[in-house]
Structures are given as structure tokens and as C-alpha cells.
Amino acid sequence: MTRSRITCALIPLAFIASACQAWKVEKRPIETVVQTQSGPIAVTMNDLRWVVLKDPVIANDSIVGTRIGGNTFGKGRTALSLRGVRAIEKRRFSFLRTLGLGVAAAFLPSLYKLAVVEE
């Protein structure tokens, strides 16, 4: 196989894998979620800031981790007060997103057929 064919095959697989996940709110206590997590977590604060942390740990009265995303500026080491945390979210499998992606993928060939004008 050529390099371009392999790339064309891997891009849709990466898209499918990411589309099948969504952030889901954890009902367990914050300390339990942080200690048993594997992967990044999203922290929603009481003032509606949303921060994605990689490698979070509980240190005294704060969640400390490396900020990798969210609706606030900046990246790097971040400490968030446990008192200000509204919710913790983890990435989970999403059946609805997977179903929607499957339906969209099923219609792509028909859309291509409609878009291409044959002589």
C-alpha cells in the first residue's frame, strides 16, 4: 500500500474514535474520581469556567494538574480550589454520537453520487 492510502485509511478511523466519545458528569465524590482517573478530566467551576486537566492530583484543598484545554486562557500547571468545583467530567463512550456518525457515513456515498454530474 502507498503512504497516501494508509493515511486516507487512518484519518477516518481517528475521526470515528474521537466522535464516539463525550464528556460525562461523574456522580462520585471529587477525590475518588481524581484518584481513580486514567486520562484527562474536565472540571466545571462554580463561576462556569471549564478546565481540562491532564494528570490531576489532590493537593491539600486543590486539584492540581496540567491544563490542556477548556474555556479559559493559558496552558501549564494549574491549581483549582476544591471548594469552587461544581462538577467533574470524564470522557466516556457515547452511543448517540456513534449512531449519528454511522448514519452520516452511510449517506456520504449517496451525497457524492448526487453531487457528481454524469454526462
Give the model's pLDDT for residue 1.
59
Q: Is the alpha carbon torsion for 48, 51, 52, 55 positive or negative?
A: negative
- Are 51 and 74 within 8 A, CB to CB? no
Is 117 a residue whose pLDDT tops 70?
no
- Are 67 and 53 within 8 A, CB to CB? yes
- Are 20 and 98 within 8 A, CB to CB? yes
pTM for the complete prediction?
0.66
Strand, helix or coil at 50?
Answer: strand
Instruction: Dump pLDDT digits (tens) for 35-74.
Output: 887 789 999 999 988 999 999 999 989 999 999 887 777 7
Give the model's pLDDT for residue 84.
92
For all residues of the chain together, what is the average pLDDT? Answer: 81
Give the model's pLDDT for residue 51.
92
Distance CA 94, CA 4 (A): 30
Mean pLDDT, range 86-100, rounded to an integer: 84
